[in-house]
Chains A and B, each alone.
Chain A
Amino acid sequence: GAGVSQSPSNKVTEKGKDVELRCDPISGHTALYWYRQSLGQGLEFLIYFQGNSAPDKSGLPSDRFSAERTGGSVSTLTIQRTQQEDSAVYLCASSLGGSRDTQYFGPGTRLTVL
């Protein structure tokens, strides 16, 4: 009965480097979301997957951000040429797929860009 897992839990990188953040959703969950949370504030929507497709990627802040999902399971969020303003906690959530189904969140990846 594993929940949503994310790796790494913490990532420190230098400005200009690329980073990859991984999300393993709950088995059988077709919907997957990525959010960004700064300084313990509210969550900022980044992208939503249904299966391997991303019908809504409207929240990605710039073309440095991209995400993919393979096999209807694992998802990777990639940030290229990181900037200091990218520092935040990146949260992943999965759900069964309906618009009102409960989202189950992972513990997040804390990204620090020096």
Chain B
Amino acid sequence: TQLLEQSPQFLSIQEGENLTVYCNSSSVFSSLQWYRQEPGEGPVLLVTVVTGGEVKKLKRLTFQFGDARKDSSLHITAAQPGDTGLYLCAGTTSGTYKYIFGTGTRLKVLA
């Protein structure tokens, strides 16, 4: 069974602090995605990474795909209250359309 473990599960920080969320698996993924979900809504895609070692930046968010394509991280610089939400990673393996979602990290940024 493919599993994506995220850590930490919960994170409460002050505005302006930096944070990193991790997504780990024993399986190799052909691509990995990060989503943010707000209460009462569906997840919204933030980024897709497909190459081992790839780093993508989206304003204050930096995403990295591990060299072996088994893990990923999301780093937020100078967090803002608007970053509050549930962050989910999701991976897919070659030849399938099935997405395996991680366990989720609930982030709260306090003003």
B-binding segment of A14-22, A72-80, A99-107: A99-107
Q: A40 and B106 in contact (CB under 8 A), knowing A56-B97, A91-B42, A99-B96?
A: yes
List residues of chain A with CB within 8 A of the CB of B76: none
> A106 touching B42 by the CB < 8 A rule?
yes
- How distant is A27 from chain B, measured CB to nearest CB, in Å? 18
Q: List 21 A-B contacts (CB under 8 A).
A: A31-B97, A40-B106, A42-B102, A43-B43, A43-B99, A45-B101, A50-B97, A56-B96, A56-B97, A56-B98, A59-B98, A91-B42, A99-B30, A100-B48, A100-B92, A102-B45, A103-B45, A103-B99, A105-B41, A106-B42, A108-B41
> B98 touching A41 by the CB < 8 A rule?
no
List residues of chain A with CB within 8 A of the CB of B101: 35, 42-45
Interface of B toward A, CB cutoff 8 Å:
4, 6, 30-31, 40-45, 48, 50, 86, 88, 90, 92, 96-104, 106
CA distance A107 to B90 in the complex (A): 18
> A42 touching B96 by the CB < 8 A rule?
no
List residues of chain B with CB within 8 A of the CB of A40: 86, 104, 106
Interface of A toward B, CB cutoff 8 Å:
4, 31, 33, 35, 40-45, 48, 50, 55-56, 58-59, 91, 93, 99-100, 102-108
CA distance A106 to B37 in the complex (A): 11
The 6 tightest CB contacts between A and B, nearest first, are A105-B42, A43-B101, A42-B101, A42-B104, A42-B103, A102-B45
Specify which of A31, A42, A44, A58 lies most central, judged by the most chain B CB atoms within 10 Å of its CB. A42
CA distance A35 to B104 in the complex (A): 15
List residues of chain A with CB within 8 A of the CB of B92: 99-100
> B106 touching A58 by the CB < 8 A rule?
no
List residues of chain B with CB within 8 A of the CB of A104: 42
- How distant is A110 from chain B, measured CB to nearest CB, in Å? 9
